Chain A
Amino acid sequence: MAVEEVAKVISNWREADLDEQEKAMLAFTEKFTLTPSQITDADIEELGRAGFSEEEILSIALGAGYRNWVDRIADLLGVEEEKFDFPEEILKAFGVTREQLKTSLYEDDR
């Protein structure tokens, strides 16, 4: 995926150039992350209608769960993000500057 496309997905995946199956997956991932208690049978059925098998739905949830796990640890422990060489478009999508990333979270006690 091109950097510009990744940036668009981060800032607004609904407007990104994704197919309907990918959008269904991201809608589920967003709800899984932000409001898991509101997930209903209809959300799983929607993934099935988008063409995902039950094995794939389980994998999508595990993938989203893994990201929720590992990104949270990074946030909680102040991982030094400057070790990741993010392209400018990605930084812009996240609303941060390269300068901010050069300082570790714990040194930058905003």
Chain B
Amino acid sequence: MSRLRMVAGMKIEDALRAAPGALEADSAMRLLLVDQLTPRLFSLIGVVVAGCLRCERFVEALRGPLDRTFAAEATRDWRALGLTAAENAVLEYAEKGTMDEASVRRRDVDALRTAGLGDKEVLLIATAIAYHNYAIRMAAAFDVLPSAETV
């Protein structure tokens, strides 16, 4: 049971459905990001943001195509996973963008470019980080699960 009596289910979609237009906007944004970034990268950002926000209980719902053990390790210590240079740069940006976003500077974006990412990818990654920061907070507020849909 969610924290709102008007929300019957246990998923974020159940809460968003109660606000006109919210579910449609949320779904469109999420599916666009999944499509443009790949389900793996979108989910990887999600589980790392969940770890930063101490919302580990949502990792199972956020892991998408990621292996369960891998997702849990990424949440706990993604630096120990031996990811690609591009993934490491993305997660560094995601961590800073979640924990201390006001301190992000040009050099942080330059690190993404050095790892081979272009302007379009940077825009999508920043949007995905912000999306997960919004969605995980909503799920935590009402004690519902964030959306698991990544395809």
Question: A residues within 8 Å of B by Cβ?
Answer: 32-33, 35-37, 39, 41, 43-44, 54-55, 57-59, 61-62, 64-66, 68-73, 75-78, 105-107, 109-110
B18 A55 Cβ-Cβ under 8 A: yes
B137 A32 Cβ-Cβ under 8 A: yes
Min Cβ gap A100→B in Å is 13
14 contacts between A and B (CB under 8 A): A36-B53, A37-B140, A41-B3, A62-B22, A68-B133, A69-B130, A71-B101, A72-B126, A76-B130, A77-B123, A78-B104, A78-B109, A106-B109, A107-B106
Min Cβ gap A41→B in Å is 6
Further pairs besides A44-B3, A58-B18: 4, Cβ < 8 Å: A54-B4, A58-B6, A61-B137, A61-B141
> Taking the complex as formed, is B105 at the interface, i.e. its CB lies under 8 A from any CB of chain A?
yes
Query: Interface extent on B, as a size class?
Result: 35 or more
Chain B residues near A54: list those with CB within 8 A.
4-6
> Taking the complex as formed, is B93 at the interface, i.e. its CB lies under 8 A from any CB of chain A?
yes
Chain B residues near A58: list those with CB within 8 A.
4, 6, 15, 18-19, 142
Distance, CA A64 to CA B135, complexed state (A): 11
- Closest-by-CB residue of B relative to A43 is B141
Distance, CA A52 to CA B135, complexed state (A): 22
Min Cβ gap B124→A in Å is 11
Whether A62 contacts B138 in the complex (CB less than 8 A), given A57-B4, A76-B93, comes out as yes
Distance, CA A30 to CA B133, complexed state (A): 14
Distance, CA A33 to CA B142, complexed state (A): 14
- Please give me the 8 A-B residue pairs with the lowest Cβ-Cβ distance, nearest first: A106-B106, A76-B126, A36-B140, A69-B134, A37-B54, A75-B101, A72-B130, A65-B134
Distance, CA A41 to CA B18, complexed state (A): 19
Min Cβ gap B105→A in Å is 5
Which one, B93, B122, B138, contacts A61 given CB within 8 A? Answer: B138
Distance, CA A7 to CA B106, complexed state (A): 28
- Closest-by-CB residue of B relative to A44 is B3
